[in-house]
Amino acid sequence: MELAYAKEDAQFRDEVRSFLDDKLTPELRRRGKLMTSVYADHETTMEWHGTLFDKGWVAPAWPVEHGGCDWSVVQHYIFASEFAAAGAPPLSPMGVGMCGPVLIGYGTQEQKDFYLPRILSGEDFWCQGYSEPGSGSDLASLQMSAVEDGDDYVCNGQKIWTTHGQYANRIFCLVRTSKEDIPQRGITFLLMDMDTPGIEVKPLIMLTGEHVQNEIFFTNARAPKRNVVGRVGDGWTVAKYLLQFERGGHAYAPGLHTRLERIRMIAGEELSGTGERLIDDRGFAAKLAEAWSEITALEFTEHRIMSKLSHGEAPGAESSMLKTRGTELSQRLTEIALEAVAHYAVPFQPHATCPGGPVPGYEAPEGSQAHAGPDYALPVTSKYLNDRAGSIYAGSNEIQRNIMSKAVLGL
């Protein structure tokens, strides 16, 4: 049996490659390869967003009538694979990958007409207001209140782990509009402007030293009632819908395969003038082979989910499977990469990498971009530290296993 792309898919692949060759500058490629977070820095994100918007490829998974692309499942996967292989930086998922699909599924026509074009163009940059201190994986216990006052809701409370909240001009929040016996009831999905009086953003610095996350305080901050998405008190349903896209609305495998090949390249380098190569160590080679097998298995699951998405279906419980396996395999690769670069993993050199945000308090060497060790080793330690959060964000992997056991196995 011969496995090959159909003629039209091969032509599409060539179109994507040609676009990347033309528009993905050496500097953007460099930033993509030296990323230490799952997010590119804000400047890189917006530069690449603008390029994709001009091409019409910002939100290919959206319905065509809202600015998406009329692609087959195979073409969507070709797109993701080619972008990963080329080292293209990712876009922020908060608008295109989360708020946009929710508005398409639950928003009013007025909300769609206003917000969707602004998400596509990059005029609006969104952040997510879900987690609170004490309400992360147990999200239903959230306490941020929204009390009716005329045509507005008056909001008080706190959100935490808000990615790139320091840059966002809008936030989608889960708020409690009533207290019920069942905590999932009485939660409402609400859109807010970040320049609203009473909203204050404070930085949270990560293990890598980066300012990517934030905590946000709401003190008598007002949001108009027309900014409710879905029904009042039914925000839990909207939130679950969004989380399916956050957890399973994108492909992990292409990026994981690209990272694995990079590790394979590192392992092929000579070890400190000894003439030996780590790739020749049978134990290390077995780790690479095992990782490849598991990533490939994940890839087939992604194919099934992309088929669902192409037919207008939400990812369902499979999104929890993707999130769990994708983040755990990503963590596995960071561990293998640490082993591959050995002592070059020690220096802290954020000036020579591309962090997901500024690194407060760090002073780069004067007058140069000098660094210790080979370029391929620069992001490895910071990526390892950053990826520790992967099995926690978007719902901890323990919670995902609970979802799978209930929804799939009926336990």
| Residue 65 burial (C-beta neighbours within 10 Å; 0-12, 13-18, 19+) | exposed
Rounded to 10°, the helix 282-310/253-267 angle is 160
Closest by CA position to 353, among listed 329, 371, 332, 341: 371
Residue count of the chain, please give it. Answer: 411
**Distances from the Cα of 395 to the Cαs of 9, 111, 165, 286, in angstroms?**
35, 27, 19, 31
What is the CA angle 274-276-282, rounded to 5?
150
Neighbours of 38 (CB within 10 A): 19
Pair of tokens at residue 331: 């963590």
DSSP reduced 3-state for 257: helix
Q: Which residues contact 265 (CB under 8 A, 6 or more apart)?
A: 376
> Who contacts 204 (Cβ-Cβ below 8 Å, separation ≥6)?
160, 161, 211, 213, 214, 215
**Residues with a known catalytic role:** 246
Positive or negative, the CA dihedral 39, 44, 49, 52 is: negative
The sign of the dihedral angle between the CA atoms of 25, 84, 357, 130 is positive
Give dist(CA 260, CA 307) in Å, integer: 26
